[in-house]
Each structure stands twice: as C-alpha cells, then as structure tokens.
Structure 1
Amino acid sequence: MPQLALYTFGVLKSPLSDPTPLTRELHDRGAAIYRKLGRHPGYRGRAVAADRSRGSHFDLDWGAWGEFAVPTWYGKGRTVETTALDATLSLWTDLRSAFTAIYTGLHREALNRRYDWFERTAHPSYVCWWVSDDAIPTWQDGVSRLEHLHDHGSAPHAFTFHHAFAPDGTPTELRGRTGRAS
C-alpha cells in the first residue's frame, strides 16, 4: 500500500542560532509538536539526524533520508551560525492522517503564528507525494517536488492538501476538512 511523503520548508527570519526569546519559542514549540505528531494515528516516521550536535543541517548524517538539500530559492547561510531554515520530511499512511495532524492541535497553533518566525514568500511551504510502502524518500526528492509544485502547480507527482491526488493519480479531495489547507 502506498504511503504519503510530506516535505515542508520555510526560510526563517533569524538564524537558528539566534538566542532571542522568539527563536527559543520556535525551538520549544517544535519539540512539543514533534512529540505530538509522533503519536498521531497514521504517522510512519520522519527524517532525524543521527547526531544533531555535529553541525548544521548540511553537515548531519540523515541516514536513509539522504544528504540534506534545500530549494534553489534558499539564499541564507549553511553554517551553524547562519542557517535560517526549518525543513521536515515525513511519512504517513494516508492523506487524511497527515492533514489532520498538520491542521489541528499544537501544529495548527504554530501555523497561526508562522509569520512571527518565517519569511513570507511566493514559494510553497510544503509538498505531498505518494511512495511505495517500502520506500524512504530523500531530502532531494522533497526539494525537487517542491520546486516542481512551485513551477507547475499540483499534479500527481507533487501536490498540496487543497489540490490532492490519490495514489493512482486521480484528483481527490479531503471531505470535511477542518482548518485551512493551502
């Protein structure tokens, strides 16, 4: 049975190393959100670096998730002191589970405040696509699909919750959506 891959990417207003309360708040909320998402029905797993204390995202060992990559439009730093991004790569059993996890609870609260932390851009902040049950998507897969979504819009290859596709490539919609999906 196919599983849903979800890649998210955002450019932060300040580097991750910024000691201000707002950056600390983002870190604290992120840790609580990841704990909650990890227990959500339909959650299969996410990319986690083997040793997070070794450097920036670009220096870490992501195992089967591959070498860390970012979209071409990311123009900020790549060192521990200058990296200003947040990215996730996760797997879900289905579209509904991922949507519900993202648009309810703690994650929804954080989405309501995203512009406190993230720059506003004309680029999409996430992309979904289907992978086989035994596949582990890579960071590069996520980046290429996010860039495809930006350049061409939703398609079976790269889509959003608002313009979703079933595993067989047919358009589908999430009935009874709670929250805003865009």
Structure 2
Amino acid sequence: MPQLALYTFGVLKTPLADTSPRTREFYDIGGTVYQQIARHPGYLAHAEPAGDDRGKLFGADWGAWGEFAVPAWYDKGRTPETTALAATLSLWTGLRPAFDALYTGLHRTALNRRYDWFERTGHPNHVLWWVSDDAAPTWQDGVSALEYLRDGDPAPHAFTFHRPFTPEGAPAGKGVRRGDAALTR
C-alpha cells in the first residue's frame, strides 16, 4: 500500500545555536511536538540522523533518507553555529492522519505561533507525495517537490493538504480540512 511522504521546511529568524529565550522555547516545544506526533495514529517514521549525528543537519548520516538538502531559496548558514532552519521528512499511512497530527494538539498551538520563530518567506512550507511501501523518500525528493510546488501547480508528485492527489495520481477533491471525514486512508 502506498505511503504518504511529508516534507516541511521553514527559515528561522535566529540560528539554531542561538541561546535566546525565543530559540530555547522553539526547541522545548519542538521536542514535545515530536514525541506527540510519533505516537499519532497513521505515523510511520521520520528522518533522524544516525548515532552521534543527532543535532546535526548538514553532513550528518541520515541513512536511507539520503544526504540532507535544502531548497535553493535558503540563503543562511550551513554550519552548526549559523544554520537557521527547521525541516522534517516523515512517512504516514494517509492524508487524514498526517493532517490531524499537524493541525491538532500541541503542533497546532506551535503553528499558531510560527511567526514568533520563522520568517515569512513567501515560499511553500510543506509538500506531500505518495511513495511505494518499499521506498524511502529522501531529503532531495522533498526539496525537489517543494521547489516544484513553489513554481507550479500541485501535481501527483508535489501537492498540499488543500489540493491533494490520490496514490493513483488523480485529484482528490476539495482537500483535507478539519472535521472532514474524507481521505482517511
């Protein structure tokens, strides 16, 4: 059965190494959000660096998720002291579980405060696509899909919750919204 890949990307106002209360708050809430999402029905996995690479992005060993990559519009640092981004890559059983995990609970609370931490770039901040159950999406897959979405209309290989596609590549109707029972795969 196909699985849903989700890539998110945001440019932070301050580097991850910043010790200000705002950055610490982002880290604190982020850790709790990850724990909740990992327990959410429909969650399958997310990219994590191997072993001692925890906390690193560029140059970390991401295993089957591939080399860490970012969209072309990211123009901030790439060292531990200067990196100012947050990115995730995850796998889900379907649209509804992924949507519910992101738009309810503590993650919804964090989204309501996103502009406390993230710049308004005018670029898309998430993209979805279907993968076969034996394939692992890579960071580069996510970047390519997000960059496509920035420049073009949603398509089966790069879409959003509001303009989704089925695993077979057909438009999936009105999209996923809160309280909507559609697309529960």
Same fold (TM over 0.5): yes
The answer to whether the aligner puts 1:115 opposite 2:78 as a matched pair is no
Q: Distance in 2 between matches of 1:55 and 1:4?
A: 25
- TM-superposed CA distance for 1:111, in Å, is 0.3
Q: Secondary structure at the match of 2:34?
A: helix
Which residue of structure 2 lines up, in the alignment, with residue 27 of structure 1? 27
Q: Distance in 2 between matches of 1:22 and 1:124?
A: 23
Find runs of 4+ consecutive structure 1 residues off by over 2 angstroms: 51-56, 173-179
Q: Secondary structure at the match of 1:111?
A: helix
Aligned residues: 179
- TM-superposed CA distance for 1:56, in Å, is 3.5
- The 5 Å alignment of 1:1-182 reads 1-51=1-51, 53=53, 56-172=56-172, 173-174=174-175, 177-178=178-179
Q: Distance in 2 between matches of 1:54 and 1:156?
A: 32
Deviation digits for residues 124-156 of structure 1 (CA, Å, limit 9, x no counterpart): 000000000111100000000000010102111
Say if 1:104 and 1:138 are closer, same or farther in 2 by CA, change over 3 A.
Answer: same
- TM-superposed CA distance for 1:121, in Å, is 1.0
Say if 1:59 and 1:32 are closer, same or farther in 2 by CA, change over 3 A.
Answer: same
Q: Distance in 2 between matches of 1:97 and 1:54?
A: 27
Q: Distance in 2 between matches of 1:52 and 1:10?
A: 24
Q: Secondary structure at the match of 1:109?
A: helix
Question: Please, what TM-score do these two structures have when normalized by structure 2?
Answer: 0.93
Q: Is the 8 A contact 1:56 1:78 kept in 2?
A: no
Q: Is the 8 A contact 1:51 1:60 kept in 2?
A: no
Deviation digits for residues 84-134 of structure 1 (CA, Å, limit 9, x no counterpart): 000000000000000000000000000000000000011000000000011
Letter in 2 for 1:57: L
Identical-pair percentage: 67
Q: Unmatched 5+ residue regions in structure 1?
A: none
- TM-superposed CA distance for 1:43, in Å, is 0.2
Q: CA RMSD in A?
A: 1.5
Say if 1:52 and 1:105 are closer, same or farther in 2 by CA, change over 3 A.
Answer: farther
Q: Distance in 2 between matches of 1:52 and 1:146?
A: 29
Say if 1:38 and 1:118 are closer, same or farther in 2 by CA, change over 3 A.
Answer: same
Question: Please, what TM-score do these two structures have when normalized by structure 1?
Answer: 0.94
Q: Distance in 1 between matches of 2:65 and 2:176?
A: 31
Q: Is the 8 A contact 1:55 1:79 kept in 2?
A: no
Q: Secondary structure at the match of 1:9?
A: strand
Q: Is the 8 A contact 2:58 2:78 kept in 1?
A: yes
